């Protein structure tokens, strides 16, 4: 069996695509600016690791809060679905009670 060339072809295609996109001046300038900004951020956080740790902790806490909120919302939705499942039998019971209240008593 021959080796699959898919991964290599994808990498080569991405590299060629990136090289071709650099012919556009706006793309090239934005890429350079983004790279410089990223380099500055990396240098800053390398020198200020405590600040990076606080930032990461804040993001993790925000993610936890979001997950808890989503979990509560899902539980609420599940409860409402269960209520809706019971609704037809409740309505049927009400209809039967109404029918019996308005029906004439049988004569024997």
Determine what percent of the chain is predicted with pLDDT higher than 70.
Answer: 94
pLDDT at 102 exceeding the cut of 90: no
pLDDT tens digits for range 35-62: 999 999 999 999 999 999 999 999 999 9
In-domain check, residue 82: yes
Three-class secondary structure of residue 39 per DSSP: helix
**Predicted confidence band at 10 (pLDDT cuts at 50, 70, 90)?**
very high
71 shares a domain with 38: no
What whole-number distance in Å separates Cα of residue 15 and Cα of residue 10? 9
Residue numbers of the domain that contains 87: 49-103
**82 vs 65, higher pLDDT:** 65
Closest CA to 35 of 17, 59, 18, 57: 18
Determine what percent of the chain is predicted with pLDDT higher than 90.
Answer: 69
59 shares a domain with 80: yes
53 shares a domain with 41: no
pTM exceeds 0.85: no
Arithmetic mean of pLDDT over the chain: 90
Q: What is the pLDDT of residue 71?
A: 96
91 shares a domain with 55: yes
């Amino acid at each position: 069996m021959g080796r699959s060339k898919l991964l290599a072809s994808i990498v080569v295609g991405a590299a060629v695509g990136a090289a071709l996109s650099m012919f556009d001046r706006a793309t090239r300038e934005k890429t350079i600016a983004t790279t410089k900004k990223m380099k500055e951020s990396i240098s800053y956080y390398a020198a200020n690791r405590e600040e990076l740790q606080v930032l990461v902790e804040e993001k993790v806490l925000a993610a936890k809060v979001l997950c808890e909120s989503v979990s509560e919302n899902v539980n609420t939705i599940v409860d409402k679905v269960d209520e809706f499942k019971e609704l037809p039998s409740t309505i049927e019971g009400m209809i039967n009670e109404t029918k019996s209240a308005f029906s004439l008593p049988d004569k024997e």
